[in-house]
Amino acid sequence: MLFLLLGIGMACGLGSFGVAGLATVFLCGCLFMLNHLGERSLRLMLLDLRADGPEFPRAHVEALLAAQSVTFEAREMSHGKDASVRYYVELAPTAVLKTLTDQFMAGSTPRIKSVAWESVRKRDG
């Protein structure tokens, strides 16, 4: 990639704008193809949910995750004044975090009061 960009810059410096233009179009086409032909990998995330009260709406949360075809595993749970559960989730690359967050916050009893997403590197999971 670096050498192709250096070559395009040198062609511009020599005044060969036709060669530079064709090389740029070729490079853009190659990058587009690589981006769209490659396999999309799953996004590994930690999902931290806090309920408003000592009970956690586990059935509501896990039903939403299952409906989105999300692979999940409960990692940490704490019950006290406010219950919280931390999930390890594998999301599709097309999953929209805002939509999932809004679904968690709506329609559960007891209510989810906070949702936090944290990216995880593969070796940390």
The CATH number covering residue 56 comes to 3.30.70.260
Contacts of 68 (CB under 8 A, 6+ apart): 95, 100
Query: pTM here?
Result: 0.64
Range of the domain at 10: 2-37
Number of Cβ within 10 Å of residue 52's Cβ equals 16
Q: Looking at the 3D structure of the chain, how many domains does it have?
A: 2
Is residue 124 in some structural domain? no
* 33 and 47 housed in the same domain: no
- Where residue 25 falls among pLDDT bands split at 50, 70, 90? very high
Over residues 34-54, the mean pLDDT reads 84
* 114 and 58 housed in the same domain: yes
* 51 and 111 housed in the same domain: yes
* 15 and 63 housed in the same domain: no
